[in-house]
């Protein structure tokens, strides 16, 4: 029996090569099916990972309260000067840090509208005034230097820490640590630079900002130099906003209490604020939502891929049935010369598997190219797991067997006498 299988495979290849175009067209169904399975898995995995990375950066144990400008504050077209007052207050922050159960600490953040300049280069990043613990709560890594310190806070020093993008924009080639950065009208000493982070969906550029970067000041320094009132100058109007705190990040002791704290925060804010000038963001909830979305997508894409594989399989079955009819006489000859039913079954099954696995290999190739293309052109990360091509390969072999069984069975069960008489 040695070499019998090899010979059967070779024979199958020979038979398929007799009709090259037909064979290639037959494999296309499986090719597209398999490639869509691989692409689907890769893109789905990538999207899920991206979402989770973003959310993890917000901190899965954090509850974030943010100030939101109320929607009814519409700016009229006329030249106006007015002050709108909204958002989180210092007393919100105090309540959050002292009265919520299971809170480890709360971090106040103020956001200022100031131009940042070093020499000839200027930009409008998110200028954040906050406390030294900010870096522990958000887990942002430092690139060089240090973050804000308690000492800075106490002495209300003129220091700042730059986000990576801001530092690179201001000084592309040399370190900014130790340099004097001009923020608004005053100079601040740069003491550190943070590492870049995964861009967040909430990082829309501020009006007039060219870089989605950040710059950090001590909270008290910010209050001292810039106060609570911000002036936004737009064409035709001058907006003044009074916001005490833009963001309060609440870090919860244990992950189990995150949802509890979130609901406490919502209740507290609802009772303290007359209008909905705040929002509560819970990264843990977002993460669950993202997982749910990713799962839905995987199911939808998987169903599409499954359907194309099914269609591919039916294509193979159809062609094999035609082939079996076409080769009835050959089957009769082989049976007369001593082929058992299982020989005939094997012969046709092998042909089906060659077709489907051939299609599968093409599909793996194509399926690896699609994520690359998508990644490059649509800014969607794609993650190809080593097991994906194997999985796709297995699926295609399985399709060959499943959809080849019936044609092979039909071939094997032909009456040899009838088959020989077939014209």
Partner 1 sequence: MAERAQAEKVAELTRVTRHYKMGTNVVRALDEFSFSFAKGEYWSIMGSSGSGKSTLLNILGCIDRPSSGSYRVRGQEVSTLDDDELSNLRSRDIGFVFQSYNLIPQLNVLENILVPLFYQDDPPPDGEERATKLAERVGLGSRLEHRPMELSGGQQQRVAIARALVNDPAIVLADEATGNLDSKTALEILDLFDELHAEGKTILLVTHERTVGQRAERTLRLRDGKIDEVLENRTGVKA
Q: Pick the closer one to partner 1 by CB: 129 or 350.
A: 350
Query: What phi, psi does 161 have (nearest 5°)?
Result: -120, 135
Q: Pick the closer one to partner 1 by CB: 12 or 222.
A: 12
Closest CA to 150 of 163, 127, 178, 131: 131
Q: Pick the closer one to partner 1 by CB: 333 or 391.
A: 333
| Shortest distance (Å) from residue 18 CB to partner 1 | 6
- Classify 422 as helix, strand or coil: coil
What are the Cα distances from residue 181, in Å, to 113, 164, 355? 15, 14, 67
Instruction: Judge contact between 112 and 181, C-beta under 8 A.
Output: no
**Rounded distance between C-alpha atoms, residue 244 and residue 110, angstroms:** 7
| Shortest distance (Å) from residue 353 CB to partner 1 | 18
Instruction: Judge contact between 389 and 363, C-beta under 8 A.
Output: no
Would you give the DSSP letter of residue 171? -
Q: Pick the closer one to partner 1 by CB: 11 or 195.
A: 11
| Shortest distance (Å) from residue 417 CB to partner 1 | 5
What are the Cα distances from residue 379, in Å, to 71, 201, 376, 383? 32, 13, 6, 13
Q: Pick the closer one to partner 1 by CB: 276 or 342.
A: 342
Residues near partner 1 (CB under 8 A): 4, 7, 11, 14-15, 18, 329-330, 333-343, 416-417, 420
| Shortest distance (Å) from residue 317 CB to partner 1 | 22
| Shortest distance (Å) from residue 2 CB to partner 1 | 10
| Shortest distance (Å) from residue 342 CB to partner 1 | 8
| Shortest distance (Å) from residue 416 CB to partner 1 | 4
| Shortest distance (Å) from residue 343 CB to partner 1 | 6
**Rounded distance between C-alpha atoms, residue 118 and residue 123, angstroms:** 9
Q: Pick the closer one to partner 1 by CB: 266 or 343.
A: 343
Q: Pick the closer one to partner 1 by CB: 15 or 89.
A: 15
| Strands 81-85, 278-281: pairing kind | unpaired
**Rounded distance between C-alpha atoms, residue 134 and residue 140, angstroms:** 9
Q: Pick the closer one to partner 1 by CB: 11 or 369.
A: 11
**380: CB partners within 8 A, 6+ apart:** 43, 46, 47, 50, 374
Instruction: Judge contact between 67 and 86, C-beta under 8 A.
Output: yes
């Amino acid at each position: 029996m040695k070499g019998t299988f090899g010979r059967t495979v070779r024979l199958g290849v020979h038979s398929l090569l007799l009709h090259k175009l037909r064979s290639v067209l037959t494999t296309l169904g499986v090719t597209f099916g398999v490639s869509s399975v691989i692409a689907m898995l890769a893109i789905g995995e990538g999207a899920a990972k991206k979402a989770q990375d973003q959310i993890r950066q917000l901190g899965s144990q954090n509850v974030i309260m943010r100030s939101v400008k109320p929607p009814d504050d519409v700016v009229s077209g006329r030249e106006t000067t007015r002050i709108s007052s909204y958002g989180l207050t210092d007393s919100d922050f105090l309540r959050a840090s002292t009265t919520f159960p299971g809170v480890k600490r709360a971090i106040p953040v103020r956001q200022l509208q100031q131009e940042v300049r070093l020499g000839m280069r200027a930009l409008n990043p998110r200028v954040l005034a906050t406390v030294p613990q900010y870096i522990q709560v958000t887990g942002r890594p430092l690139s060089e230097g240090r973050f804000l310190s308690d000492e800075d806070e106490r002495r209300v020093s003129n220091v700042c820490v730059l986000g990576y993008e801001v530092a690179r924009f201001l000084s592309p080639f040399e370190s900014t640590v130790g340099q004097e950065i001009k923020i608004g009208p005053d100079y601040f000493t740069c003491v550190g630079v943070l590492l870049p982070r995964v861009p967040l969906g909430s990082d829309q550029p501020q009006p007039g900002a060219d870089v989605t970067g950040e710059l950090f000041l001590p909270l008290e320094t910010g209050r001292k130099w810039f106060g609570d009132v911000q002036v936004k100058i737009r064409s035709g109007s001058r907006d003044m906003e009074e916001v005490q705190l833009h963001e309060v990040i609440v870090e919860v002791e244990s992950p189990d209490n995150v949802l509890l704290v979130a609901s406490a925060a919502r209740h507290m804010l609802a009772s303290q604020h007359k209008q909905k000038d705040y929002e509560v963001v819970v990264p843990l909830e977002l993460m669950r939502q993202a997982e749910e979305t990713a799962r839905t997508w995987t199911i939808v894409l998987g169903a599409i891929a499954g359907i194309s594989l099914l269609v591919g399989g039916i294509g193979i079955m159809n062609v094999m049935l035609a082939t079996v009819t076409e080769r009835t006489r050959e089957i009769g000859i082989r049976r007369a010369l001593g082929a058992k039913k299982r020989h005939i079954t094997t012969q046709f099954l092998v042909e089906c598997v060659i077709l489907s696995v051939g299609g599968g290999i093409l599909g793996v190739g194509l399926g690896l190219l699609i994520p690359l293309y998508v990644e490059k052109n649509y800014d969607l990360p794609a993650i190809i797991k080593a097991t994906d091509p194997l999985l796709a390969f297995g699926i295609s072999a399985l399709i060959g067997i499943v959809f080849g069984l019936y044609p092979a069975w039909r071939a094997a069960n032909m009456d040899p006498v009838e088959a020989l008489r077939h014209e």
